[in-house]
Amino acid sequence: MKISVAIPAHNEEKYIAHCLESLVRQNFSEELEIIVCLNLCTDRTEEIVRAYAQSSPWPIKIVSEGRKGVGWARQTACLATSGEIIASADADAVYPTDWITRIACAFAEDPKLVVLYGPVRLQGFGTFLQFFHPILNDAITHVGRLFGWHNVIGSNFAMRREAFLAVGGFNTSLKALEDHEIVRRLRRLGRVRYDPHLVVYASARRYNRLGVWKTISFYARNAIRAVVLRCETEDLEDLSPSPQTPLPGEAKKKGEL
């Protein structure tokens, strides 16, 4: 069985080396390829990826997407894959050495399985939030499953490539929650399974940048928009904190410089 890892990347020079380092150390015994989609990068992301491609035991392929957005980048990365299974990853996540092996075993054991996903543990929180976030996230996941809704996160799920193609891939009109939305369509083709042991670790940068409750409310309302209402989602980048307006005295001093 061949597995393809698909990674969208927009200015990820701070994180992508850790991601790739964890992927090249996978203890997988079959075929594996890594596809990185550069989405309008203006930093050293491409340079870092090319350096890893020179020494990786697995082939690393770079593709580019000129249309801005994680949906477009994830779609382009997945279309460039050649494996039977596509493992969706994010540039700011790191992966245990058995991540790919666990994915391959699950799909090999169940021919009707179309999606496998697991929890994402965020790193870089304060002590309280480091403890609280997994509890909240797991509660949302388990309650959602009771109602047929899957709390899939783009950094930790896998799908059969033929199923991905059959549903037309990601909804690229969405600016967020494209991972949730595609699973709504994929589940019509087969089984969706949650594996609590398929754990990966990602940065808490969005929560730290925007604040915990603002970020949680963003994902909650846009999950409803994408999966239930099936309408356009908001762009997380639009919620970036605005620069503080300088005081009149400060503005005058700047003008005098």
* Contact assessment for residue 57 and residue 43, using Cβ atoms and an 8 Å cutoff: no
Domain encompassing residue 212: 2-238
Question: Does some domain include residue 255?
Answer: no
Instruction: Please write the tens of the pLDDT for every residue from 65-113.
Output: 999 999 999 999 999 999 999 999 999 999 999 999 999 999 999 999 9
Q: Which residues contact 146 (CB under 8 A, 6 or more apart)?
A: none
Average pLDDT over the chain reads 87
Question: Does some domain include residue 246?
Answer: no
CATH number of the domain where residue 20 is located: 3.90.550.10
Question: Does some domain include residue 250?
Answer: no
pLDDT at residue 257 tops 70: no
pLDDT at residue 250 tops 50: no
Q: What percent of the chain has pLDDT over 90?
A: 65
Question: Does some domain include residue 135?
Answer: yes
- Greater confidence (229 vs 217) lies with 217
**Domain count within the chain:** 1
Q: Distance between CA 255 and CA 112 in Å, rounded?
A: 67
Mean pLDDT for the stretch of residues 147-171: 94
Mean pLDDT for the stretch of residues 105-128: 91
